[in-house]
Chains A and B, each alone.
Chain A
Amino acid sequence: MSNTMGKIIHILPQGTNDNADNNGFLHEDTDFIQDHGTFEDRRQQLISEYERELRIFKSNSMLMT
């Protein structure tokens, strides 16, 4: 079993990355919702949209059963 452990994870690039800072792309705080209430509203809206699409998906033939 140990031979198969974590193989999916190893698809990702491995090891340390010392050049991480060279690229310079890191998100800015202002790109994200910071307020608890506003974010919870957005989250609920996304989840309800998503659940609706999931129900549609489950009713069609593409479903993995």
Chain B
Amino acid sequence: MPDRRPKPVYNARIQEIRLPRAYSFRALCCLLLMVSATAVSATDWRAPNAQLAAKIAAVTGPGAVALVITNRSSLNQADVDDIRRGLCTELAALGVHSAAADQAAATAQVFLSENLRDYVWIAEIHVGDNEPSVAMVTTPRAEPAAGEHAAAPMTIHKAPLWTDENRILDVALPTGSPQIMIVLEPENAVLYVVQNGHWQAQQTLVIAHAHPWPRDLRGRLVLRKDRLFDAYLPGVLCSSTTSAPLALRCLESDDPWPLATEPFPLSAFFSPARNFFTGALSPGIQKQTAIAPFYSAAPLPRDKYTLWIFSGADGQIHLLDGMTDQATKWTWGSDIASLRSGCGLGWQVLATSRGDGVGDTVQAFEIADRQPAALSAPVEFGGSITSLWTDSDSTSVIAVAQLSETGRYEASRLSITCSR
């Protein structure tokens, strides 16, 4: 039965980053910079300028007015200059000309201010000895963008994929045509396809679940060969159908979650009401089938075995090789993931930590003689990292962060390039 409820009146999805995957990585970064730069310099002040000019002109009437603009907001000087020019143009169109104070019949003191949500432009208009009139217009404030750092000897490249006000649990990018992106949210898996160079929502698949989700909800997308994907959530496993139109079948399930992609067939059971893996492994690392509860795991292939690194719920990093469980004193965060870059030893671990500024960072490490060596500078995320999963082909890692300034979630693909 169709839902007869009205559409929500809040929180409309704002799609800020729409990027086709076909671009080469470097071209993608350049494009991002260009888009970002364009967005900054091309703010359209025409509407508020026109509104304020009309309000000023309604008080002063046509003639000479002394216009004084004072910036009391976070706008930069370039924007202030733009606004000044625009306002003069709009006033001139209404017959109001800017003049020196001693030659003007009125004075308009314009303050560029701001409040929680908007830029607030206020004109205090003095005509003769009358009490000053106050006119105001508002226009929404732009949201700040997150920054990026790069460093040697390896460089972590962070390519933004998607941003949303809703929590993003994971993002998957199946190879093939058409280009598809799957975004896993708490209540939906949303399929996007590239149309005219932008990601367009194609289908929203509801994730049915009987129990409330735990706080700090986690989820993982796993691409499959016989169907498009599986979505693992606490106590729930959802599988997509094979043919279009796609459907999603969700069941209460305690099936273990895959910890990595091929060739590391290790899974682990996830607590249905918490945010960690219980520690039970399937099938196990040789003889080791259970460890202490952990948040994340990352495999590093060695010549004759695989070294598994676990970020324990006890705050310790554990190294498992099938025989021993070595607890370390490393100061890594809860989220780790490994990827195959081809640089250095071939595989690296990305680990979270707390940055100097606001928010978490991710840094690349290699493990030699059971000791970590940092190989990249920390990459800032401008907020808390809420998810870090290795991509299906193991060549990149999908990171999701909640940005401190805006509260929005931003999914990025992290990959490593070698230095010279």
A and B interact: no
